Chains A and B, each alone.
Chain A
Amino acid sequence: MAVALHAEWTKWRTLPGQAWVILGIIAVTIGVSYAAIATQHCPAVGGCISDPVKQSLVGVEAGQAVVAILAVLTVTGEYATGMIRVTFTAMPRRLLVLTAKTSVVLALVLAVGAVSVLGCVLAGRLILPGHGFTLANGYAAYSPGSSTLLRAACGAVLYLVLIALMSIGVATAVRESAVAIGVVLGLLYLFPILLLVVSNTTWHRHLEQIAPMIAGLDIISTTDLKSLPLTPWQGLGVMAAWAAGCLLLGGALLRLRDA
């Protein structure tokens, strides 16, 4: 296993352009969060936003797309160049290769996700109190010690990790970068679009419970939790189920299919 991990890590770090992907995750996540909170003031015409913590982590919704690139390319890059045949010749136990790949990506996304989310939280800490989101206006202090903030921030990092795992599963099943990315982002973004037109409340609620992005991002909500269709950790659990399902499917196909 150590050898497999070492091999996967070497393959990953020697590819050109990886630094751009890492920088991309951090820049997109923090950038979108910054844009989302820098424009908010309280009190405001038309009322203040209800959940500044969630607002300051909204960049995750865009940053996850770059995380998906990182994860998908780790798998499909090998299929595109034919490298996968060399890999399986050297290490015939395919599930071991998949586990090693998954572990490397998991560690990377954990680290990069933590940096990105920390950046968002710092931005929130620096900007939001100055924009009127203070105790006086009815907002709990945006302080690093707050347990809900801690839960939301850690949850956001875990969410990004789960997105990466789901992407690896889909990429292993599909083996083509463009299609894999299309499937992953389709699963993430199409549900919220569909929800805009589903007005049947029962259906709406069920869709909110099974949609990976909507359920998964319940974890960054800190106010009005009773209105959520799932509790934050249940929501992250739904996302974990999607990731596990995709990984299982990918693993099964990898084992059964010709490379």
Chain B
Amino acid sequence: MTVLTYQSPVADSRDSFGQTVRAEWTKLRTVRGWLIGLLLAAVLPAGFAFLGQSHCGVSQSGPNGKSVSTACPGPPIGPNGEAVEDDPYFVHQPLTGNGSLTVRLTSLTGLYAAGAFNTNGGTAGWSSGLQPWSKVGILIKENTTQGSPYAAIMATGSHGVHFQYNFIHDVTGGASSLAAPVWLRVTRSGDTITGYSSLNGVHWTEVGSATLTGLGPTAQIGMFAASPAYAKPTSAHSEFVAPSQATGVFDRVDLSGASGSWNGTVVGGGPADGPADTGVDAWTRSGGTFTVQGAGDIVPNVGMASPGGGGPGQPIDLSLVGDFVGLIALIVIAAMFMTAEYRRGLIRVTFAASPNRGRVLAAKAIVIAAVTFVAALIGTVLALVVSLRVLHSGGVSVLPVPTLTLVRIVAGTAAVFAVAAVLILALGALLRRTAVVVVLGIVVFVLGWLLTRGGLLPAGVTEWILRLSPAAAYAVQQSIPAYSFVTGNYTPANGFYPLAPWAGFLVLCLWAAAALGLAIHVMNRRDA
């Protein structure tokens, strides 16, 4: 007699983590509505980028009464690939090979328009005073083309002596008081430029040095004056901006290595700024004393309006606003991916097949994060491509960003959406109420962005929201760094976040990890 035992032909391998992930992936891909939602998340942002169409310049009435948009020239680009403002007043002469320039700065004064100002001449309405980052000193620059490499030692309105080069580099030279005359010196040795300062012309302190590539055998060296616009924020978005000027008086000018004649130029060759009668950009010489006065500035462009300057260009993260259409779809899917199981009672089958509840939730988190990341990445890249084309055809210049920053913005946005989906999934497991979870998700990630970047709330409140709430992660979209040495309206509404990009992302990750941990804990204790 033989005993027949039944053996299932299916291999005994159930309930591995890989299989749980596979099961969750199957659940996701077999719901038609969710697939449609994912497709929308990948495609709709690009569609919205079309609507974001804009034109640069002032619309003028054409011959048929139609408005004609004029193209704006983009901002000049510095040696490091960033947009710059480069139009100080420069009294210079060529210096071939090595050499040095020493000057004594005996006075630094300024004027600015605090209110309504006369644009046609005269100093009516002008007040005397320096901007914090008004600067006069010695400049050595490849040539007088905007964006060319340079190094400069300068006395500033209220930040003492600084050594700056190639727009984004700044070295503080200690707080030299301007009550006493300040001596400044720049030397060139090969491609190395060194800046010195001194209070007496005898004892010199090295402030900083820089190696400038591309300076060429002959560079321009001389004295410069620049004064950033006087700006007073009037709301989260707008500010009152008016011209200002700085005047430096130099004597004991000692140039070694060249003996040409001095020429005054606005860098970039633009017209002299400001009221024609007062001659904001000008220089005079009487004997050995030079008076140099200038407006303009020599700094990285942080997207601020400058009086008389062209449109500053649009920050690139505004090209991604179409993503929020996709984000709403992703939030809905992430919430339903969890709550639909409770609705249909499927959760009981799921837990019967795979009793380790933490593992189920982890598998769900991996699947929703991966799927969201891919959909958001496709959506973001398409939106960016479409938006840049639309902006280009409209003549709008986008502030350029280095490649690595662009990768961080695009991949970071997709990663933010993926972690947000995990957070919403965990909230779904905790609360089990679809509508509440979807509203929480949209309020935090869509309204949160609108209230802060959109400038609906004052900056004091938004900065705290962007430090503590999951919306802090939008810091990965910041395209222009906030420079400590550039006056700017560094508020979230202008695209400047209080946390560094990855610190902001970490805040979101902590929220997601905490919610996921709490959800696993609660699910293990609770009846399904």
Q: Are A193 and B442 in contact (CB under 8 A)?
A: no
User: Given A190-B325, A200-B54, are A178 and B343 neighbors across the interface (CB < 8 Å)?
Assistant: no
Chain B residues within 8 Å of A, Cβ to Cβ: 33, 48, 51-55, 59, 232-235, 239, 314, 318-319, 321, 324-325, 328-329, 331-332, 335-336, 339, 343, 396, 433-439, 442-443, 446-447, 449-451, 453-454, 456-458, 460-461
Q: Is the interface of A mostly helix, strand, loop or mixed?
A: helix
Q: Bound state CA distance, A203 and B319, in angstroms?
A: 17
A236 sits at the interface (CB 8 A): no
User: Given A35-B461, A47-B233, A62-B447, are A198 and B454 neighbors across the interface (CB < 8 Å)?
Assistant: no
Q: Are A178 and B438 in contact (CB under 8 A)?
A: yes
Interface size on A, residues (CB 8 A): 40
| 0 or 1 for each of A18-38: is its CB under 8 Å from B? (1 = yes) | 000000000000000001100
User: Given A35-B461, A47-B232, A178-B435, are A62 and B324 neighbors across the interface (CB < 8 Å)?
Assistant: no
Q: Are A178 and B54 in contact (CB under 8 A)?
A: no
Q: Are A189 and B232 in contact (CB under 8 A)?
A: no
A156 sits at the interface (CB 8 A): no
Q: Are B318 and A185 in contact (CB under 8 A)?
A: no
Jot down 23 A-B pairs with beta carbons below 8 A, ordered by A: A35-B457, A39-B461, A46-B235, A47-B233, A47-B235, A58-B457, A62-B443, A68-B439, A69-B435, A80-B343, A178-B335, A181-B434, A181-B439, A182-B328, A182-B332, A185-B438, A189-B450, A190-B325, A193-B324, A194-B51, A194-B321, A196-B453, A201-B59
Docked complex: A55-77 residues within 8 A CB-CB of B:
58, 61-62, 65-66, 68-69, 72-73, 76
**Closest B residue by C-beta to A35:** B461
Q: Is the interface of B mostly helix, strand, loop or mixed?
A: helix
Q: Closest 7 interchain pairs by CB?
A: A199-B54, A46-B233, A197-B52, A177-B435, A182-B332, A47-B234, A181-B438
Known: A58-B456, A178-B336; 15 extra A-B contacts, CB below 8 A, are A35-B457, A61-B447, A62-B447, A177-B434, A178-B437, A179-B33, A179-B332, A180-B435, A185-B439, A186-B442, A190-B446, A193-B446, A194-B52, A197-B54, A199-B55
- Contact residues in B for A181 (Cβ distance below 8 Å): 332, 434-435, 438-439, 442
Q: Bound state CA distance, A65 and B336, in angstroms?
A: 18
Chain A residues within 8 Å of B, Cβ to Cβ: 17, 35-36, 39-40, 45-47, 49, 58, 61-62, 65-66, 68-69, 72-73, 76, 80, 177-182, 185-186, 189-190, 192-194, 196-201, 203
A205 → chain B closest CB, angstroms: 13
User: Given A68-B439, A177-B434, A196-B321, are A189 and B447 neighbors across the interface (CB < 8 Å)?
Assistant: yes
Q: Are B234 and A76 in contact (CB under 8 A)?
A: no
Q: Bound state CA distance, A191 and B234, in angstroms?
A: 24
**Closest B residue by C-beta to A21:** B436
Q: Bound state CA distance, A47 and B236, in angstroms?
A: 10
